[in-house]
Structure 1
Amino acid sequence: MRGPFSFQTEQVGNFRVSAIARNGCLGHNRSQTLRGPMLDTAARKLIDPPLNAIGRNLAGRGVTADGVTLAGLALGLLAAFCIAVGWPLVALVPLLASRIADGLDGAVARASKTTDFGGYLDIACDFLFYGAIPFAFVLMDSANNAIAGAFLLMSFYFNGTSFLGYAILAEKRDMETSAQGIKSLYFSNGLLEGTETIVFFVLLCLFPASFAMLAWIFGTLCFATATLRIVAARRVFTTKED
């Protein structure tokens, strides 16, 4: 994003709500983001420069952002298949490749053409991927993983709903944030985000016998993330619009 930025902060529980005012050709916009002990913002500073360079190269070769998104989904589903048939270590290769593709699609879009549909497709594919991996571990060992897997998927459902609901209200108020890169949807931060989830999935693949224990822990943290987001949303969205 271009233009000068100014910041105002307000404490909301364990989160800091930041208001980002952007003045430029699009006028004055106000953005509020939730900041907790997450990794995505820090990771963005490291991965965005190389991803943007690769994205420009791919866009110059005629590769489309939607194509990269679908390729990433295919790799993610391949990883889920490998897990389901009992090859969790093999699954690491397509799993990590799918997440690289997930970062590249936005870079390709920024280097060529960004569309609302592209953002919609990206989030839909992400949610399918995030559900497919736990489901694959349940298929791999239903006797030991079913209950913990169901709890984990329920926590993903709750967390995803709180995230998308926040994005809808943020769009209604013309709020914007670039804390995790330029996105088609408003990304409210939380205790757990994409980076933490990928680390969690990698741990599951490395230690599949510990799936149940890890799922209970991560699922509990997802519930905490969603609950804190709702608390922060109540503070942000019960005020009158500017």
Structure 2
Amino acid sequence: MLDARMRTLIDPVLNTVGRTLAAWGLTANGVTLIGLALGLIAAATIALGAPLLALIPLLFSRIADGLDGAVARATQKTDFGGYLDIACDFLFYGAIPMAFVWADPANNAVAGAWLLTSFYFNGTSFLGYAILAEKHGMETTAQGSKSLYYSNGLLEGTETIVFFVLICLFADAFAPLAWIFGSLCFLTGTLRVYAARQIFTKQEGPTP
């Protein structure tokens, strides 16, 4: 919901830094992998019981996630680069909740399972929509120039990062926050499936 607005604020800065990194010889895929490594370090730090300390690599990980696209725009965008980016994003998104479950399985396991299932469903609805959008020749630049079609939703990357910051700041409240955020993820995925039915069946003709 907030991604498009955030892009207008941060893209000019990211593009400037991205051009500098490209001039230094960094590749977009290299920045993507650096971001993933930082995200996994954050997850390991949470699992070891230091969620506040994990905020540092977590936030730098998301900065890298924004910079890889900027570096690609300054050099050359590739299909594999877009694929690698989304694959690393999904691994990061799963690793953080899993780390909270490992840190306190007695209190966080059930809520963590609910949250991860909601991520799985929401992510599938997102990727499936992108495949159909590509098939139908749909394009959007609302969230910047992307290798995949980014459908909007109630919860997007910005909201997820805010949620991760909150559970790092208030680790004892992970379970109730996970129940709430997971429910909103299920709602986001359901609304996206409904939108896909409205758009793609309209283009293909009525469904019996």
User: Scaled by the length of structure 1, what TM-score is found?
Assistant: 0.84
> Of 199, 203, 208, which aligns to 1:240?
203
Aligned to 1:18: none
> Of 138, 142, 167, which aligns to 1:204?
167
Q: Report the Cα offset of residue 240 of structure 1.
A: 2.9
Answering whether residue 7 of structure 2 is matched by residue 44 of structure 1, we say yes
Q: Where does the alignment leave 5 or more consecutive residues of structure 2 unmatched?
A: none
Q: Report the Cα offset of residue 130 of structure 1.
A: 0.1
Cα distance between partner residues in 1 of 2:8 and 2:136: 27
> Of 51, 56, 59, which aligns to 1:96?
59
Answering whether residue 152 of structure 2 is matched by residue 189 of structure 1, we say yes
Answering whether residue 108 of structure 2 is matched by residue 145 of structure 1, we say yes
Letter in 1 for 2:68: D
Letter in 2 for 1:171: E
Letter in 1 for 2:7: R
Q: Report the Cα offset of residue 223 of structure 1.
A: 0.3
Cα distance between partner residues in 2 of 1:85 and 1:110: 37
Answering whether residue 81 of structure 2 is matched by residue 118 of structure 1, we say yes
Corresponding residue SS for 2:172: helix
* TM alignment of 1:134-173, pairs within 5 A: 134-173=97-136
Q: Which moved more, 1:104-113 or 1:231-240?
A: 231-240
CA RMSD across the alignment: 1.0
Aligned to 2:25: 62
Identity %: 75
Q: Report the Cα offset of residue 128 of structure 1.
A: 0.1
Structure with the greater alpha carbon radius of gyration: 1
Corresponding residue SS for 1:210: helix
Cα distance between partner residues in 1 of 2:96 and 2:70: 25
> Of 49, 67, 71, which aligns to 1:86?
49
Answering whether residue 28 of structure 2 is matched by residue 77 of structure 1, we say no
Corresponding residue SS for 1:91: helix
Which structure has greater helix proportion?
A: 2
Q: Report the Cα offset of residue 96 of structure 1.
A: 0.1
Corresponding residue SS for 1:181: coil
Cα distance between partner residues in 2 of 1:41 and 1:106: 15
Q: Where does the alignment leave 5 or more consecutive residues of structure 1 unmatched?
A: 1-37
Aligned positions, number: 205
Letter in 2 for 1:117: F
Cα distance between partner residues in 2 of 1:138 and 1:93: 20
Letter in 2 for 1:238: T
Aligned to 1:32: none
Which stretches of structure 1, 4 residues or longer, exceed 3 Å deviation after superposition? Answer: none
Q: Report the Cα offset of residue 61 of structure 1.
A: 1.1
Letter in 1 for 2:124: T
User: Scaled by the length of structure 2, what TM-score is found?
Assistant: 0.97
